[in-house]
Structure 1
Amino acid sequence: MSWRAAIGEGLRDIASGASRPLLFAILFAVTAGGAATWGAVDTTSAVLAADAYVEAGAATFVETSPGRIDGRACDSLVDLASVRAAGAVRESPDGLVAEALPRTRIPLFTATQGFSDVIGFSAPLSLGVVVSTEVASILGATPGATVATMNGPTTVAGVYDYPDDGREAGLAYAAVEAASSIEERYDACWMTVWPEDETAVAALSRTVISADEASAERPTLRQLNSTKGDRFVDHRTTSRPLVGGLAWAAATLSGFGFVWFRRLVVSADRHAGMGRRAQILSLGVQAGIWSLSGSALSFVAVICVTRVSEQNRDPTVWNALVVLLIAMIGAQLGTAAGVATVRERHFFRYFKER
């Protein structure tokens, strides 16, 4: 039998429903596709946990040395591969005093532009001061509003969120303004590092300017939020090799079962003169169709469970696609193995077992 005839035979079996393509597509989606979805769910959970860890400030480190932090050196730390953001800050001695609350001093910090990315300001510091949500609530200020202060009208450029989640409360009730020059000295350098990189954290020490006096206070390094642990703990229970192996095994068994389910027909076709290679091609086409259909169903499930940012979604979805491809190959191997085990001489035994 020619290869075209073998393919045509397989397509006719699919069209007529004789090979139960819907049944095996669902079986493939539940088993092999289930393994791929399980891996995607596990990875998504780990990504969400990592995002929460970073957003809580656990991946942010602060090098403190009053009056000895080099602002330019601090901002330049962002050039390191694992550093997401870095910026220098110092507290102004006078603070900010609103005319509506003359007896209430609002802590005012001066920061470099890089500090905006560390905290996640909603507006550039160059447009005015950025205040915490608590200050904005007390003053009734909104982005773009002008607040009367003892030093004159002050524009509120934006509002930043600084939740009470275990992080140091220094900026929970405060206002931040832009520094007039990055060349000035600061009190602290803040840096967010992700993925974790001890070498990058150690680089914070390079932002400290040498002390003029031997008795100067030594710099201190601390984690902004230590309640989340000093290191991120990945609780994933799966790995790509494990998920791929399970999907491959499940699909291989499905392919073998697909042939064994039709062993009487396979034996009869061989008795009628159809060669083993033609049968592998014909049944392989059928297995390819139902495994591809099952993969499509599984891919929809993977998309639904991957609730992460686009940056993290693409690798997760790609890994799932690789697992499904491995499973489709397993289905073909199982089908070929099934054809190899069917014997023409067992035709009557298969007939009795039908």
Structure 2
Amino acid sequence: MACTLAATDGLTIKKIIDDGSEFRSHGAATYIITTERGVDGVSCERLRDINGVRSAGAVRTVSPTPTLLALPAGTLPLHEATRGFLPLLGIEARVAQQASYVISRPAADQLSAESGSDLATSNGVAHVDALYEYPDDGRNSSLLYAAVSVAPKEGRFDECWIQVWPLMDAVPTLLRTTLSASVRPDAKVRISQLNSRLGERYDGLSLYENRLTRYASLAGMALGLCIGALSVRLRRLELAAALHVGVSRAALTTQIALETLTSAAITAALCSPVLAVIAHSAGSVNEIGIFVTEMEVVLASSIGCLIGSVAGTITVRNRHLFNYFKAR
């Protein structure tokens, strides 16, 4: 039963972590400030130095867009971005070079392009450094079918994107610090969430602290206490008989304590592999913390069982031997 409680608590914590990862991976933890040519690229990139900001980069549309010779009837929307923007697309910043493109997977499929290939455009040949995944999962679709090239961070951009985790209330204030001094007070400035489909916030800490299984250790201790007391009650005739033939109470209590500890050690050894697998499935960053939390439940149950068995042994009386015999 202790293993079941511990595993349930571990799976609950894993679910909270997985939901947070999904929230982040679908762009719900990415925020955008938008104002035409009003974002300072250097200020946007500096946001990466703030604790809690995972990535930050500026992006702007390019007009007119170079025509792709492979698409004479249409164009591929082109954006210029600072290097810090690339991690927001799942691309390492060192991959892409200036005067080259990273393009979305749908665009690459239509153009039969791949990483390392070249595209003929009206402005010459453009090299494709990498492809980025941009799921159609409810997020802002501006980069779903597009190409992005790296531009120097010195300059004015249309948007600043930041990914924040864990979420913080200061995001709007941080984004507004990226506005250029030339932006007029009455300029249209919009702050939005890249993907609002999963909700505006995800408070993992609150979910963890208020999870239904947060009392698993107390429940395990109470359960262990009952099991320990019951195990002694079922053996009280045997224990009373031992006292009757001269075994000291101290020796009898020590024996029961050792038996209980041995049983608890075996239980912990059997539970540990299962609990370790659950903890490992939550990711290497979290597995130690989850495993420790799980083992706290097992330990609490063992302590409760020890207290219950020792307390039960102390209550056994030699003079009640006949009563125990009749009630067996």
Specify the code of the residue in structure 1 equivalent to 2:284.
E
Residue type at the aligned position of 1:130: V
* Structure 1 residue 108 corresponds to structure 2 residue 45: no
Name the residue aligned to 1:171: 143
In angstroms, what is the RMSD of aligned CA positions?
2.2
Displacement of 1:201 in angstroms is: 4.1
- Taking the TM superposition and a 5 Å limit, the aligned residue runs for 1:255-294 are 255-294=228-267
Provide the residue aligned with 2:318 in structure 1.
Answer: 344
Say if 1:40 and 1:317, in contact at 8 Å, map to a contact too. yes
Which residue number in structure 2 is paired with residue 204 of structure 1? 175
Q: Is the 8 A contact 1:35 1:247 kept in 2?
A: yes
Q: Measure how far apart 1:122 and its partner are.
A: 6.0
C-alpha separation in 2, matches of 1:185 and 1:59: 24
Distance 1:305 1:210 in 2: 52
Structure 1 distance, partners of 2:67, 2:39, is 27
Contact map agreement 1:263 1:350 (CA 8 A) in 2: yes
Map of 2:120 onto structure 1:
148
SS class of match (2:282): coil
1:220 equivalenced with 2:194 (yes/no): no
- Determine the C-alpha separation between the residues in 2 that align with 1:58 and 1:334: 49
One of 139, 160, 164 as aligned partner of 1:193 = 164
- Amino acid in structure 2 at the alignment position of 1:310: S
Q: How does 1:131-146 map to 2 (within 5 A)?
A: 131-146=103-118
Which residue type is aligned with residue 76 of structure 1?
Answer: R
Q: In structure 2, what is the Cα distance between the partners aligned to 1:51 and 1:132? A: 22
**Partner SS, residue 286 of structure 2:** helix
Instruction: Name the CA shift for 1:96/1:276 in 2 (closer, same or farther; >3 Å).
Output: farther
Gaps of 5+ in 2: none
Structure 2 SS opposite 1:157: strand
- Superposition TM-score, scaled by structure 2 size: 0.90
Asked if 2 retains the 8 angstrom alpha-carbon contact of 1:33 and 1:247, the reply is: no
- What amino acid does structure 2 have at the position aligned with 1:220? R
- Structure 2 residue matching 1:326: 3-state secondary structure: helix
For residue 191 of structure 1, report the CA deviation from its aligned partner.
Answer: 0.8
Matched position secondary structure for 1:309: coil
- Does the 8 Å contact 2:104/2:144 carry over to 1? yes
- Secondary structure at 2:135 match in 1: coil
Q: Which range moved further: 117-126 or 331-340?
A: 117-126
Secondary structure of the equivalent of 2:14?
helix
Structure 1's unaligned 5+ residue stretches are 1-30
Matched residues, number: 322
- Taking a change above 3 Å as real, the CA distance of residues 352 and 175 of structure 1, as seen in their structure-2 partners, is same
- Whether the 8 Å CA contact 2:12–2:211 is kept in 1: the answer is yes
CA contact (8 A) 1:136 1:159 kept: yes
Correspondence for 1:157? 129
Please give the TM-score of this superposition, normalised by the length of structure 1.
0.84
The structural deviation recorded for 1:212 is 5.5
How many percent of aligned residue pairs carry the same amino acid?
31
One-letter amino acid matched to 1:299: S
Amino acid at match of 1:199: A
In structure 2, what is the equivalent of residue 20 of structure 1?
A: none
Tell me by how many angstroms 1:69 deviates: 1.3
Relative contact order, higher structure (CA 8 A, sep 6+): 1
Superposition map of 1:41-80 within 5 A = 41-80=11-50
Structure 1 residues 149 and 196 mapped into 2: Cα distance closer, same or farther (>3 Å)? same
